[in-house]
Amino acid sequence: MTAPKTLYDKIWDAHVADEADDGTCLLYIDRHLVHEVTSPQAFEGLRMAGRKVRAPEKTIAVPDHNVPTTLDRAGGITNEESRIQVDALDKNAKDFGIHYYPVSDVRQGIVHIVGPEQGWTLPGMTVVCGDSHTATHGAFGSLAHGIGTSEVEHVLATQTLIQKKSKNMKVEITGKLRPGVTAKDITLSVIGETGTAGGTGYVIEYCGEAIRDLSMEGRMTVCNMAIEGGARAGLIAPDEKTFEYVKGRPHAPKGAAWEAALEWWKTLYTDEGAHFDKVITIKGEDIAPVVTWGTSPEDVLPITDVVPSPDDFQGGKVEAAKRSLEYMGLTPGMKLEDIQIDTVFIGSCTNGRIEDLRAAAAILKGKKVKDGMRAMVVPGSGLVRAQAEEEGLAEIFKDAGFEWRLAGCSMCLAMNPDQLAEGERCASTSNRNFEGRQGYKGRTHLVSPAMAAAAAITGHLTDVREMM
């Protein structure tokens, strides 16, 4: 009898193409997603060495980071460097014969939203992309993680990665979530608990009733931020919800292939008694709607709390907290709910899916964005945008005073013109509150879509439960 395996063990074992005596493996990659920022040097490397893409049929490219999200973008990209980068991807996709969704395609969007939407991401796969938020795809029970540009070139040339296996970590969220608490609050709360280096060296499996209860969209939100906890990847065992989501997608298997796939996918779970090197358990009912106060995703507190003091911390975090508070312009002891907001951003690979837009629209319906505030919604893909229009969500956003944009990464990392000004304070559904992340000296508070909508109405960080 074989030893019990974790989900990660099973996927890993199914993809080892070669193993050296010291445990260094060649891991075979089933899906390689590519965007314009981290790939040009890799394609250039292939050209210089006279190499081709080994498996173009498993390689999918879409521009997302640099693309404008304004309605006039068909007119082209004004910023020359951004335009060159997107043009380079156009050319590389064509020259190397890989699947491509150009800016003009309705299916274009953030690579981590397009992959699942088009059925490229399937359970049990290995998925990589030159982007740390590749962890998103772990929601399907696939092993998915970000890689650097040298590794992008390595995967393009060999369809493998040189890897050593990570350790297994289990994050269990037991019981039910309380009303107003979402997947974003789960994933931020986990990082608040473990710290941004708590997952370093591990692959996390999220499990427990509260995770099972999440939709596929919610599960993607949870896995998306595994990287913010330092983990190589985060994953969730596939179940009926997963299969239901995948079925019928353009690149999902059909007919007999579907049946065969399903049979294997149903074996993708952690065996009873399998070993985890680290276990974190959080009660679902203990999780509150949370916000970040500082410049690290671990700076998480329930909305009902107050801004902490550097003295509340130890070691190197004392200085880091001082620096964060100064950068964020906050005083210890002030109520988080009293923090005034200039801007609200709803979107990103963390929270740019249809369910996120529904959650925000449910709060905004019949309400107005507070006078003088800037508020924007950037759907994660052209198809999310179309669906939101069909469901009447776009009208709710527009009536409330939100800008209704085209798909892209937008203000999550502000590589396109969607940026914060110096000192501008934003309630954002994105994933990183680093210094300068959303614009030079911009100030970011990470929140769920519902919490972002609540802040848009009141003009300050707000407990969404008071509006439900």
Residues in binding site for [4Fe-4S] cluster: 349, 409, 412
- CA-nearest of 379, 371, 385 to 449 is 379
In the complex, the smallest distance separating the C-beta of residue 65 from other proteins, rounded to whole angstroms, is 8
| Of residues 438 and 462, the one with the C-beta less far from other proteins | 438
Pair type for strands 59-61 and 143-146: unpaired
In the complex, the smallest distance separating the C-beta of residue 374 from other proteins, rounded to whole angstroms, is 20
Tokens read off for 64: 């997302």
Tokens read off for 147: 């890689």
Tokens read off for 85: 């980068």
In the complex, the smallest distance separating the C-beta of residue 439 from other proteins, rounded to whole angstroms, is 10
Degrees (nearest 5) of the Cα angle 361, 120, 380?
Answer: 25
Residues annotated as binding site? 349, 409, 412
- For 134, half-sphere exposure in the C-beta direction (CA atoms, 13 angstrom radius) is 25
- CA-nearest of 269, 17, 277 to 124 is 269
Q: How far apart are CA 93 and CA 266, in angstroms?
A: 34
| Of residues 5 and 437, the one with the C-beta less far from other proteins | 437
Could you say which DSSP state residue 318 is in? H
| Of residues 117 and 153, the one with the C-beta less far from other proteins | 153
In the complex, the smallest distance separating the C-beta of residue 98 from other proteins, rounded to whole angstroms, is 16
In the complex, the smallest distance separating the C-beta of residue 282 from other proteins, rounded to whole angstroms, is 21
In the complex, the smallest distance separating the C-beta of residue 171 from other proteins, rounded to whole angstroms, is 17
Q: Give residues with Cβ within 8 angstroms of 372, minimum separation 6.
A: 459
| Of residues 129 and 344, the one with the C-beta less far from other proteins | 129
Residues 119 and 9: beta-carbon distance below 8 Å: no
354: burial class by Cβ within 10 Å (0-12, 13-18, 19+)? buried
Residues 221 and 190: beta-carbon distance below 8 Å: no
240: burial class by Cβ within 10 Å (0-12, 13-18, 19+)? exposed
In the complex, the smallest distance separating the C-beta of residue 82 from other proteins, rounded to whole angstroms, is 6
Q: Count CB-CB contacts under 10 A for residue 325.
A: 20
Which three-class secondary structure state does DSSP give residue 445? Answer: strand
In the complex, the smallest distance separating the C-beta of residue 20 from other proteins, rounded to whole angstroms, is 7
3-state DSSP of 2-55: CCCCCHHHHHHHCCEEEECCCCCEEEECCEEEECCCCCHHHHHHHHHHCCCCCC
Pair type for strands 160-163 and 25-28: antiparallel
| Of residues 158 and 174, the one with the C-beta less far from other proteins | 158
In the complex, the smallest distance separating the C-beta of residue 225 from other proteins, rounded to whole angstroms, is 12
- CA-nearest of 406, 365, 400, 410 to 386 is 406
| Of residues 158 and 387, the one with the C-beta less far from other proteins | 158
- CA-nearest of 134, 267, 263, 153 to 203 is 134
| Of residues 191 and 456, the one with the C-beta less far from other proteins | 191
